[in-house]
Amino acid sequence: MREITLSQAVNEALAEEMRRDETVFIIGEDVAEAGTPFKVLSGLVEEFGTARVVDTPIAEPGFMGIAVGAAMTGTRPVVDLMFGDFIYLIMDQLCNQAAKTHYMSGGKLSVPLVLRTNLGATRRSAAQHSQSLHALVAHIPGLKVALPSSAYEAKGLMKTAIRDDNPVVIFEDKLMYQDKAPVPEEEYLIPFGEANVLREGSDITLIGTSSMVQVCQKAAEILGSEGISAEVIDPRTIVPLDEETLLASARKTSRVIVVDEGHQSFGVTGEIASRINEKAFYHLDAPVLRMGAMDVPVPFSPALEDITVPTPESVVENARRLVHGEMIHAA
Amino acid sequence: MPHEVIMPALGMAQDSGLIVAWHKRPGDAVSEGDVLFEVETDKATMEVEAQTDGFLLQVRRDAGDDVPVGEVIAMIGDSKEDVQAEESPADAPLPADTDLPTGREVIMPALGMAQDSGLIVAWHKAPGDAVAAGDILFEVETDKSTMEVEAGHDGFVAALLAEAGEDAPVGEAIAIISADKPEAPVQRSRKSAPAAAPTAPPAATAPKAAPKAPVPATPPPPARAEVVSEHDRILASPKARRLALEQRLDLNRLVREGYPQPYHVKDLEILRSLPAEAAPGPSSGARRITAQVPSDGFSRFALWAAEQAGLQDDGALLAGLAGASLKSDGAVVAVETPVGTRHYSVPGRQFGDVAETDSGTAVDLVLRDLRSSRIGSVHLGPEDSPVLTVSARGEGFALTLECASHHLTASEAVALLSDFAGRMEQPLRHLL
C-alpha cells in the first residue's frame, strides 16, 4: 500500500469531501492564498477557489462565529484553527453556541461543523503554542472529539467528522504532520466510538491517545523484549468513548496505564482511569495509572520541555512497577 | 576568508529543510542580501539570503535535497578560486587550547526557538579592549532575529575564538574575558581551533538529541517495598481479594508466612503452593465418636414415664439421661430440636428433679434431638459446648458426640458416650 504523510492524508480527506459535497468549505487564517499552515491545505484553493477556501483576518472569534452561523444555515464548514492553543479565543462560539444549538432549538437547527486544530509539545514552540487542550472541549456535552494517531486515522476520522451532523473537534498532532503511514487509495471512513487495538497483550493495557499512541507502541516493544506482554489501544475518539473495548482489555490484563499528552490533572487520563476503576474494579490487580503532561506551562527550554511529556521509557518504567506488584502511591 | 552557507533553522523545531531551488549558480558573484536559494520546511517555503559578498562556490546540495539544519551546503569565497585551500583546516598545525589566556568564557547563548547555533554578525570589541559587563560584545543572528549580546563580565577581551560570519553552536565558548589586561590577546576563527573541541556537538547532529528524550531514570527500587498493614487490614488488589474469596484462600496465611504486602494475583500462587499448616496440637483438635443403639428401650421407657410418673416431656427425659452421663453434681443441658431449644437443669439422678431453666444459663452439654428428621449422620465440628446428637438410623438411634479436645479428654469423651449409649439402651438403669 502507498504511504503518505498525515498532512497529505488530511488534504485528501478535505479534497474528497469537498468534491463529494459542495456545501463543504474551509475557513481560517492563511488557508488559501496566504500559504497554508503546516502546508496541509496545499492545492485546495487552486481546485476549489476562494469562495470555498476562505482566508480570514487574524480574528479567531470572528471566523469561528461566521462558521457556526453558516453551519446552521445548511453548509458544512471546516474551520482551520492554526494552533490548538487558540481554542481559548473561540470558547463561546464553540461551547456556548455550536455545542448547544441543536439542543436549545429543540432539534430545529444543527451545526454540522468541523474544527480542525492541533495539539502536542516538544516542538520548541513555548507555552502558548504547545498545549494539548482536548480535555477542555471533551468536557462540554454536544461536542465530539477525535484524536487521530496516524495518517490513516487522520483521513478516515476527518471524512467521518465532515459527514457528522453535529460539531466535531479534531486535534491533529503537530509533530506528526510529516509522519508517513500506509493509506489506501480507495475511500474509507473510520466510525466514531470504536477503539483500535493496535497490539494484543496479556499482562498490561496501555491506552494511548494521539501522539501518545506511538509512545505506547514503543513502550510495548521494549516491554515485550523483557517478557512483559502489553496490549496497546487507541480510543480514536474520546467523545464518544469506546468503553466496552477498554473495559474488556482491563478485565483481561488487570493492569492499565492511560497515556495522554494533555495535562495530567483533571484530564483525559483521569476520566478514562476513573471509568475503568468504577466498572472493572474487581478485575484490577493494580491501580490504574494516569500519565499525562506535567502540570506546568510547557517550558521553552528543550531539555525541560522534553521531560514534561510521557516518553516510551517513562511508560516502560511505570509498567514494570505495576507488573512487579510494587506499591504505587502516586504516578 | 570563505563563508559557509548552511541550511538555516527557519522554523520552530525544524530538523531539516528541502532545497526547492537555487537562485545562484556556482561561480556567480553574490552580494549580501541576494537570495541564494529557496527552502521548504514543514511550515512554509522561504527564501534564504547570502550573508556576505563574494562568489558562490562548492554547491554541495542540489534542488530537491532534504538537508539537515546546520549542514554546510555551499561556500561563498572572496574569489572564484580561493576555496580549495580552505578545505581541510584540521590538517593545519593547531595551537593547543592551553595556549588560550585564562579568564571567564563567553558562550554562544541560546536566543531563539529551537536554536542550535548562532551566526556571529559582528564583534563590537577587539582583542585587548577593556570591557564592562553591560557593554555590547557581539551581535548574533538566529533563525528569528539579530540580537546584541552583552559581555557579562568586567575585564579585558583576552580572546575572540570565532570570527564574524561564523556560525557557533549554542554553548560553545567564543570569547574569553580576563581580569587583567592580556599580554597576548588571541583572535582566531572557529576553524583554527584545536580539532578536539568537545565543547559542543556539531550543529547538524544536535537536533537528534532533542525530541522526547527519556525522563531521567529513577533509581531502581529495591526488590519490593515492605508495607506494614494498618489495623490488621491486609493490603491486596481488588482482583487478588476477589479470587482469594472465590477460591477459599486465606490471605492471612501469607501474612503469617512473612510475605510482604500488598498482595496481587500472582501471590495467590505462592499461597496455593504453601504446605498445609502443621497438624493442630492436642489442645485444639476436635473429637467425634459415634454409637448405635436400639430404639425400643427408650421408647418403652418414655411410655412408662408418661403413664407412671407423669413425665410427658421427651426433652426432659433426654436431658436427664445425658446430664447423668456427665457424672457431675449438676449440669445444664440444652435440648435442640428442629422446632427450638429448651434448657434443663439436671441436678442429679432423679428425673423428678429435672427442671426447665432459662436460656441465659451457661450450657454444659447440648443434646441435639434429630430423631424426627431424616438426618442420619452428623459431622459438624466442635461448638462452644460438647454436643450429643441423637438421630434415627434403621431400627435404632445413632448417637454422636462431638466436642473440642479441651472440653473433654479422649477417655472422658469415650466414657460419656458409652454411658449415654447404655442409658439410652436401658433407661431403667438410670433409676438404679
State which H helix or E strand residue A199 sits in.
Answer: strand A196-199
* Between B6 and A81, the higher pLDDT residue: A81
Diameter of chain B measured on Cα atoms: 147
* Residues near B196 by beta carbon (within 8 Å), at least 6 away in sequence: none
Are A125 and A90 spatial neighbours (Cβ–Cβ below 8 Å)? no
- Which of A282, A285, A308 should we substitute to test contact with B (largest number of B Cβ atoms within 10 Å)? A285
Q: How would you classify the pairing of strands B136-141 and B155-160?
A: unpaired
Residue A97 to chain B, least CA–CA distance (Å): 32
Contact A124 B240 (CB under 8 A): no
Using pLDDT thresholds of 50, 70 and 90, give the confidence band for residue B206. very low
Do the Cβ atoms of B113 and A124 come within 8 Å?
A: yes
pLDDT of residue B362: 82
CA-based nearest residue in chain B for residue A174: B42
One-character DSSP codes across B250-267 = -HHHHHHTTPPBSB-HHH
Helix or strand or coil: residue B58? coil
pLDDT for residue B218 is more than 80? no
Closest by CA to B137, choosing from B114, B115, B106, is B106
Q: Which residues of A touch B225 (CB under 8 A)?
A: 326-327
Residue B218 and residue A317: Cβ atoms within 8 Å? yes
Q: Which amino acid is at B20?
A: V
Across the interface, whether the CB atoms of A309 and B212 are under 8 A apart is answered yes
pLDDT band at A119 (very low <50, low <70, confident <90, very high): very high
Q: Do A122 and B211 touch (CB under 8 A)?
A: yes
Residues of B in contact with A282 (CB under 8 A): 238-239, 242
Sheet with B45-49: strands ordered across? B45-49, B35-40, B16-22, B66-68
Q: Where are the beta strands (DSSP E) in A44-125?
A: 53-55, 76-80, 114-119
- Examine the pLDDT at A117 and tell me if it is beyond 60: yes
Residues of chain B with Cβ-Cβ distance to A219 below 8 Å are: none
Q: Which residues of B touch A124 (CB under 8 A)?
A: 12-13, 113-114, 210
Chain B CB contacts of A283 under 8 Å are 238-239, 242
How near does any CA of chain A get to the CA of B254, in Å?
Answer: 15
- CATH class of the domain comprising A3-182: alpha beta
Cis previous bond, A240, omega within 30: yes
Q: Tell me the DSSP string of B157-210.
A: EEEE-S-TT-EEETT-EEEEEESSPPSS-EE--GGGS-S--TTS--TTTHHHH-
The percent of residues above 70 in pLDDT, for chain B, comes to 81
Q: Which of A119, A55, A53, A40 is nearest to A83 (CA)?
A: A119
Q: Which of A246-260, B186-200, B242-256, B257-271 has the lowest mean pLDDT?
A: B186-200
CATH of region A196-323, choose from 3.40.50.920, 3.20.20.370, 3.40.50.300, 3.30.43.10: 3.40.50.920
A77, A27 Cβ separation under 8 angstroms: yes
Predicted pLDDT of residue B193 = 67
Nearest by Cα to A205 from A273, A108, A296: A273
Cα-based torsion angle of the residue sequence A241, A244, A248, A250 in order, rounded to the nearest 10 degrees: 30
Torsion of CA B101, B106, B108, B112, to 10 degrees: -170
Q: In angstroms, rounded to a whole number, what is the distance separating the alpha carbons of residues B169 and B25? A: 28
Cα distance from N-terminal residue to C-terminal residue, chain A: 40
Give pLDDT, residue A236: 98
Residue of B nearest to A284 (CA): B239
Chain A residues within 8 angstroms (CB to CB) of chain B: 35, 37-39, 122-126, 129, 175, 177-178, 215, 254, 281-286, 300, 302-303, 306-307, 309, 311-314, 317, 321, 324-327
**Sheet containing A53-55: which strands, arranged edge to edge?**
A53-55, A24-28, A76-80, A114-119, A168-173, A144-146, A237-239
pLDDT digits (tens, 9 = 90+) for A241-294: 999 999 999 999 999 999 999 999 999 999 999 999 999 999 999 999 999 999
ipTM over 0.85 threshold:
no
Who wins on pLDDT, B81 or A239?
A239
- Count Cβ atoms within 10 A of the Cβ of residue B432 and give its class: 0-12 exposed, 13-18 middle, 19 or more buried: exposed
Cell of B415: 466414657
Among B43, B210, B225, the residue with its CB nearest the CB of A38 is: B43
Per-residue model confidence (pLDDT) at position A217: 98
Indicate where chain A has its CATH 3.40.50.970 domain(s). 3-182
Which helix (DSSP H) or strand (DSSP E) does residue B33 occupy? Answer: none
| B312 Cβ contact list (under 8 Å, min separation 6) | B306
| Cα–Cα dist A167/A98, whole Å | 6
Q: How confident is the model over B77-122, as pLDDT tens digits?
A: 888 776 554 444 444 444 445 567 888 888 887 765 567 788 888 8
CB atoms closer than 10 angstroms to residue B289: 16
Nearest chain A alpha carbon to B43? A38
Q: Chain B interface, mutation test: which of A80, A324, A327, most B Cβ atoms within 10 Å?
A: A327
Q: How far is B110 from chain A (nearest CA, A)?
A: 9
* B266 vs A38, A129, A325: nearest CB: A325
Chain B residues inside the 8 Å CB shell of A281: 238
Give the angle subtended at the CA of B332 by the CAs of B328 and B337, to the nearest 5°: 130
Beta-carbon pairs below 8 A across chains A and B: 90
Catalogue the active-site residues of A: 60, 129
How many whole angstroms separate alpha carbon A15 and alpha carbon A5? 15
CB nearest to B214's CB, from A35, A313, A321: A313
Within chain A, residue ranges assigned H as helices are: 6-20, 44-48, 60-72, 91, 101-104, 134-138, 151-163, 211-225, 243-253, 268-280, 302-306, 312-323
B143: pLDDT confidence band, cut at 50, 70 and 90?
A: low
Q: Which of B15, B224, B237 to mutate to test the interface with A (most CBs of A within 10 A)?
A: B237
In this complex, the residue of A124, A254, A303 whose CB is nearest that of residue B114 is A124
Q: Lowest mean pLDDT of A113-117, A244-248, A315-319, B251-255, name the range.
A: B251-255
Residues of B in Cβ contact (< 8 Å) with A177 = 42
Query: For residue B202, what pLDDT band results from cuts at 50, 70 and 90?
Result: very low
- The length of chain A in residues reads 331
Report the chain B residue with the minimal C-alpha distance to residue A302.
Answer: B210
Q: By CB neighbour count within 10 A (0-12 exposed, 13-18 middle, 19+ buried), where does B117 fall?
A: buried
The DSSP line for B349-366 is: S-GGG-EEE-TTSPPSEE
Tell me how far apart the alpha carbons of residues B263 and B246 are, in angstroms, rounded to a whole number.
Answer: 16
Rg of chain B over Cα atoms, rounded to whole angstroms, equals: 52
Helices (H) and strands (E) in chain B, counts: 7, 24
- Hey, what amino acid is at B351? F
Which amino acid is present at A67?
A
Q: What is the pLDDT of residue B11?
A: 65
Copy the grid coordinates of residue B204: 547538524
Cross-chain Cβ contact B224/A324 below 8 Å: yes
Contacts of B216 in chain A (CB under 8 A): 307
What is the model's pLDDT at position B12? 59
Q: How far apart are CA B77 and CA B38, in angstroms?
A: 20
The pLDDT score that the predictor gives to residue B112 is 58
Cis peptide before A77 (omega within 30 of 0): no
Position of cell 530538523? B15
Contacts B215 to A, Cβ<8 Å: 307, 311, 313-314, 317
What does A125-176 look like in DSSP terms, one character per residue? --TTS----HHHHHTSTT-EEE---SHHHHHHHHHHHHH-SS-EEEEEETT-
User: If 0-12 CB within 10 Å is exposed, 13-18 middle and 19+ buried, where does residue B230 land?
Assistant: exposed
Q: Closest chain A residue to B210 measured between Cα atoms?
A: A302
- CA–CA min distance A271, chain B (Å): 20
Residues in B touching A327 (Cβ below 8 Å): 225, 227, 235, 262
**What distance in Å separates the CA atoms of residue B316 and residue B311, rounded to the nearest whole number?**
8
Q: Which residue has the cell 442420619?
A: B376
Which residue in A has a C-alpha nearest to residue B241's C-alpha?
A: A282
Give tens-digit pLDDT for B368-379.
998 888 887 788
Domain(s) labelled CATH 3.40.50.920 in chain A stretch across 196-323
C-alpha dihedral, A177 to A180 to A181 to A183, nearest 10°: 80
From A29, A24, A37, A318, select the one nearest A172 (Cα to Cα): A37
User: Are residues A326 and B221, on separate chains, in Cβ contact within 8 Å?
Assistant: yes
Tell me the nearest-neighbour CA distance from B247 into chain A, angstroms.
15
Residues A305-317: what's their mean pLDDT?
96
- Cross-chain Cβ contact A39/B113 below 8 Å: no
A126, amino acid identity: A
Question: What are the pLDDT digits (tens) for B287-304?
Answer: 888 888 888 888 888 888
CB atoms B12 and A124 under 8 Å: yes
Lowest mean pLDDT among A72-76, A300-304, B83-87: B83-87
Mind telling me how many Å the CA of B73 is from chain A's nearest CA? Answer: 23
